[in-house]
Structure 1
């Protein structure tokens, strides 16, 4: 089981007038999603990390060596390996640049994997 791909620390705002809480991001570039490095991790941030590990396992290429699509920010990896369209679509959704486009739960990922 793989969990906790990054660590965050909740920080209290300097004054009670500020309501937004921020975090300090710690993680490994390539595996941690953009929102985590911006200090705003989401529950789906670990799904990104797991997807990047899966892509590395399939391609043999570390995430730091994969390049983002300049228009979407999504990682371009499919041209490096032959993989089924169904699996590629699942992995792409796991590592979407924008967290709102990503799977929101591990259960949702598993459901799609079982449908393959």
Structure 2
């Protein structure tokens, strides 16, 4: 019985942590990018889940993935497609993944005027 209560409490904790993360990230995007004014926490959470399904796991990786996907859409996703196996198979480290995502983001940002 105690284990069930503990599992339930951990689930509540993670849900709250995920909601707080989504709130902070949505607020950051709205404050820094004009074309992100209409993003909300639910959309961020959906993109975070998509990023996790793609094999991303750190907050930094997910933040770049969410921003890139929201701001650049298919162009960002196409640019990171060749890297998806690396994300899933852990063939490169988490910081290297974040750096590759950031490079793709910066390339697209340089080509557009956000």
How high is the TM-score relative to the length of structure 2? 0.30
Return the structure number with greater helix share.
2
Return the structure number with greater strand share.
1
